[in-house]
Structure 1
Amino acid sequence: MRWPRRLPIDPFIAALLGTVALAAVIPLRGTGAEAGRVITGVAVALLFFLHGAKIAPRAALAGARHWRLHTVVLLTTFVAFPLLGLAAAALRPAVLTPELYQGLLFLCAVPSTVQTSIAFTAIARGNVPAAVFTASFSNIAGIALTPLLVTLLLQGSDDVRLSAGSIGSVVLQLLVPFVAGQLSRRWTARWIERHRALTGHVDRGAILLVVYSAFSAGVVAGVWDEVSPGRLAALTAVVGGLLAAVLGLTYAAGRLLAFERADRVTILFCGAKKSLATGLPMATVLVSPEALGLLVLPLMIYHQIQLIVCAAIARRWGARPAEVEPPG
């Protein structure tokens, strides 16, 4: 039997689902859980070091002059998303449990993606230099803004642990490796460019470790007893609706503010995306291990949906003649 060339699901998403299943069957407990947290912390630091080393400051700054574009993307990522999340409070508890609603709010506080935002912008013939800058800056700004937004949006939750110590952990585990990666580019940039596959494996491996540790803690604490298939289907519908709303918002904003086509493409893909690679490591620092699994579930679902939808949009827009505008 030949394995199909094109799977109906992204291979990385399949790996994520497999990791969740493994955590359900063989969760980390006791000493294993502690060791898993230490290993995950090291992997996350390495992940952010590589992110810092991969982002070329000159390439990113080439698109810095489009300040109106960057303002729209940042406002979408860190203002419009949280407001939509707060509006979804009307769905609680009939559609979303309090824990799943907190996960939706956490999703809304996470920065944009870097690699896929740039890739989809390029496929759809958008402004790639501007995408490099705005996606990179979103992640850098998110190191400070996401913890603050999580505190504001999830205020009153006993699972959020933002304090001077947790802020120090964010700086030490995320910002310091990122800055170290930037400073190391003189020696590491060429090596990383030649070994893209290896660095991609580190990216995905770190995320899988975070997922395994988080879902193991949830299994041990018994939080998954609260998620029925009906609730999971409802969450998927809500997350899909959130993506549709933001895609419509970014598309309308680009047209109303009279941006050129290439800039509108960049606004749509960079403004509507949320980063699993950045969000999961942040969650390990900001949230108690027992609540982590349910908290990151909406982000994991959103990640898969945004890949499918944005890939389809990028291919459709990229296939059109340059003079033809995207459909309204």
Structure 2
Amino acid sequence: MVRLLVLTIALATIFPAIGAGRTVAQAISNVAIFALFMLNGLRLPRDEVLRGLRDARFLLPLLVWCFGAMALTGLGLSRLAFGHLPQELAIGLLFLGTLASTVQSATAYSSIAGGDVAGSVVAAAMLNIVGVFLTAPLFAVMGGFATADLGFGGLAKIFALLVLPFVLGQALQGVGGPWVRSHPALVSTMDRLAIAIAVYVAFSGAVERGIWSTLGMAQWSLLLGLLVAFLTVGFGGSWLFAGLFRLDRPTRISFMFAGAHKSVVSGAPIALILFPPASAGLVMAPLLVYHLLQLVVSAPLASRLSRSPRRGSPGDCDGSTTIATDRSGQRRSGR
């Protein structure tokens, strides 16, 4: 994913889509986004959706953290950035805070660290479903009116390109669900293709606005510092917040990765719908940098958690059972 984003940004820098080319690229992006969310609707079994909704002790605190604490953190950092960074970058910090978690990377690192893999999958899926409905209005309420299309037209686009295809996918599960689930590479490829096109269209607008020439080293350094602060709150805060509910260690690990990660898969399409391409690239820049940083932080963190003993976790009862996860994602326990 990191390589794909770097290549896409490089392509947009050298051959940006402008004029009529942007119109064509935008149309292709809309088709790819529709197909991606329909495939996700087909892929996620309804019984898993219902199981996730029933696990309120895990899901409700995670929703509060992801769309409450992280959104407020984004709002605070956005206000700090105003006057020191271009408006779209400051707005991008708020937008970042209102996004859902990733599915693939949060689950993968949770597996490596010995977390609850099944819980991670369901939780991340639930956050993304909720995010389709919640991100735009939450962003609007918290002050994002200035540069976004948050009127009827913007909400109608979100419904047509994100909500409608997902609902259609859920409705057609009996017809296409088993086939889609037996071809995971199809959804994975569609994920990457839709993200790449959306990032390419958005970043082409940022290149046309002169992102590489108008932002100096001091501004890039400030943005990086704000995102490091965001990461610190994301990982450290979610771990401490999960401890308040005395979740067991595997669940707490899953909570942390789901609570700290932010999704380019949902973020890039939503940004391209809410913002004109000339602004979307700059708004998306904090998300792209954060996505890279969260992967860099998650790898050593997951490795360390997989080796550390269970003692000291608020959710542990006696510390006598160690739960680990092998590379296939299967949990095993030992005394």
| 1:32-59 Cα distance to aligned partner (Å, 9 max, x none) | 1110100000001111111112212223
CA–CA distance in structure 2, aligned partners of residues 296 and 155 of structure 1: 14
Percent identity of equivalent pairs: 33
1:316 aligns to 2:308 (yes or no): no
Counterpart check, 1:226 vs 2:214: yes
Q: How far apart are the structure 2 equivalents of 1:282 and 1:147? A: 8
Partners of 2:54 and 2:112 in 1: how far apart?
Answer: 22
Normalising by structure 1, report the TM-score: 0.88
What stretches of structure 1 of length at least 5 have no aligned partner?
A: 1-11
Letter in 2 for 1:101: A
Deviation at 1:276, TM superposition (A): 0.5
| Deviations 1:136-182, CA, capped at 9 Å, x for gaps | 1111111121011221234451x211111211111110011111122
Find the residue that maps to 2:54 and give its secondary structure: coil
Q: 1:123 aligns with which of 108, 112, 117?
A: 112
Q: Which is further off, 30-39 or 250-259?
A: 250-259
Assess, with a 3 A threshold, how the Cα gap between structure 1 residues 34 and 136 changes in structure 2: closer, same or farther: same
Structure 2 residue 97 is the aligned partner of structure 1 residue 108: yes
1:208 aligned residue: 196
Could you report, residue by residue, the CA deviation over 1:277-299 in whole angstroms, capped at 9, with x for unpaired residues? 00110111111211011100000
The residue identity in structure 2 corresponding to 1:152 is V
2: CA distance, partners of 1:155 / 1:236 = 21
Pair 1:286-2:274 in alignment: yes
User: In structure 1, how many angstroms separate the alpha carbons of the residues matched to 2:77 and 2:274?
Assistant: 22
More deviation, 303-312/106-115: 303-312
List structure 1 segments (4+ residues) > 4 angstroms apart after TM superposition. 323-327
Is 1:136 aligned with 2:125?
yes
| Correspondent of 1:261 among 236, 240, 249 | 249
8 Å contact 2:238–2:259 — kept in the other structure? yes
**The residue matched to 1:62 in structure 2 has which SS?**
helix
Aligned to 1:179: 167
Q: Give the structure 1 partner of residue 328 of structure 2.
A: none
* In structure 1, distance between residues paired with 2:195 and 2:36: 9
Write the distance in 2 (CA, Å) between the matches of 1:97 and 1:309.
27
Matches within 5 A, 1:52-201: 52-89=41-78, 91-93=80-82, 95-157=84-146, 159-201=147-189
SS of equivalent to 2:150: coil
Cα drift, residue 315 of structure 1: 2.5
Q: Which residue of 1 aligns with 2:239?
A: 251
Hey, what's the Cα distance between the residues in 2 that align with 1:169 and 1:94?
31
SS of 2:253's partner is: helix
Q: Is the 8 A contact 1:72 1:267 kept in 2?
A: no
Letter in 2 for 1:76: W
User: Structure 2: which 5+ runs fail to align?
Assistant: 315-335
RMSD value over aligned CA atoms? 2.1
